[in-house]
Amino acid sequence: MADDTVEVPNFICAHRTNCRGNRNSEGAVVFSKVNCGPIALHVNFTGTAHFVMVDWKVSEVQLIMVYKSPKYGISRFLEKLRDILTAIQGPCVVFGDFNINLQIEDGKKLIGMFAEFDMVPKLNIQQATTNGGTHIDCCFSNSQNVTSWVYESYYSYHKPICIVWPRN
């Protein structure tokens, strides 16, 4: 909501987009300790389904945060994501709630699309990222130096993702 204030000590709010109405999954916020380059917002709606992608650069690493609603079509989502990834050069990390279970056939399509860009899963896809036992929260990268893991949260059905890469 526009009047919510969130402050994280020692971080700046580099980007914030609020949802259009009632609280839902359309909003995005980026906090950073370092200066970010320009931040691009990609949003697409089809009826009640949508995706949101936020991409920005920290140092030489391109970061892309993703949310795909469960009803947004996988083929259309892969097409939009492929368009964004085609423009990326250099180290890249793509992460977020894809709502595509990597442990089933649809997940293989997503993994295959990322492989076209020399990007691999940085989380163990056999490990669940939700309390429901699915792996729908993902992290992909083309950098060997990126590590990631999930941890248990008392506040969410999803397990938060931690991502680390060395600063140059």
Kindly report, residue by residue over 88-102, the tens digit of the pLDDT: 999 999 999 999 999
Residue 37's pLDDT band, with cuts at 50, 70 and 90, is confident
Taking residues 6-22, report their average pLDDT.
77
Residues in the chain: 168
Structure confidence at residue 1 (pLDDT): 46
Q: State how far the Cα of 165 lies from the Cα of 168, in Å rounded to an integer.
A: 9
pLDDT value of residue 138: 96
Whether 2 shows a pLDDT value over 70: the answer reads no
CA distances from 15 to 7, 27, 110, 138, 158 (A): 13, 10, 27, 21, 23
Phi, psi of 105 (to 5 degrees): -55, -45
What confidence tens digit (pLDDT) does each residue in 100-148 have? 999 999 999 999 999 999 999 999 999 999 999 999 999 999 999 999 9
In the prediction, which pLDDT does 21 show?
65
Domain 34-164 CATH assignment equals 3.60.10.10? yes
Half-sphere exposure of 30 (CA within 13 A, CB side): 23
Q: Once rounded to an integer, what is the mean pLDDT over residues 75-91?
A: 94
| pTM assigned to the model | 0.89
